[in-house]
Amino acid sequence: MRITGDGVWGEPADPAGARRLLEQIVKDGVDLIDTADSYGPEVSENLIAEALHPYPENLVIATKGGLTRAGPGIWNRGGRPERLKLCCEDSLRRLKLERIDLYQLHAVDPQVPIEDSVGALAELQHEGKIRHVGLCNVDLDELDRARAIVPVVSVQNRYNVTDRASEDVLRACERDGLAFLPWFPLATGKLASQGGVLDQTARAHNATPAQVALAWLLWHSPVTVPIPGTSSLEHFEENLAAAQLQLDDDEIEALDALAPA
């Protein structure tokens, strides 16, 4: 979503730079890119295809349907089965794919039973247009209801060192072997201020608070797949380096304690 314009709307300021960034992250070993039809809308998927098609054999492109856009920063739900099928077809066309490896319901539409929305994804999977089905922004009940309709391989919820409202969903993913993709993984806020736990830990490792937040996510659960967004090569390299950061037990305990009571 970071390779679009302000408010995740329209073209980025430097489309050529966005394409170069996409090319470089694949060269540096990234094998999962998470996008959505609503990023732009359509802009992110188009840029990915322009920069990377034909795709490396090991690259997984995960995309989503289920949100509509009315302007910068404006997001609405749209989970009707017929709409989701159309969204998937359009994503296949933009991404120049015959099958999407991971197609995710972007959000549950309160006007549409989740069974109906994921039922459409199950049909698309049966038709060979989707390999795996994922969910985003769901609670435990919604996850269970969806899994009664179609096998689910991943959940993408907001989650970070300071926001653990989805801890129960993460633990369910651990129990059942589902991938958990935390969005907004770098939220640090006031906790990154000078003298705070994140700041102190970062200084001890000659790292940034954001790198510490990513390293904590990787430690916190074996099923966690962080998806930090970036619009610059420098920021990407910083994020990638977080995978090499080793936190000690005392640091992990202090970061664990940041969870709201």
CA 178 to chain CA mean position, Å: 14
- Partners of 161 in beta bridges: none
Q: In terms of DSSP bridges, do strands 74-77 and 67-71 run parallel, antiparallel, or are they unpaired? A: antiparallel
Give the DSSP letter of residue 98: S
Ranges of H-type helices in 113-208: 114-126, 140-147, 167-176, 197-204
Tokens 């769901």 identify what position? 138
Separation CA 245–CA 215 (nearest Å)? 6
Q: Is the peptide bond before 182 cis (omega within 30 degrees of 0)?
A: no
User: Is-catalytic flag, 159?
Assistant: no
Q: Is the peptide bond before 185 cis (omega within 30 degrees of 0)?
A: no
Catalytic center residues: 39
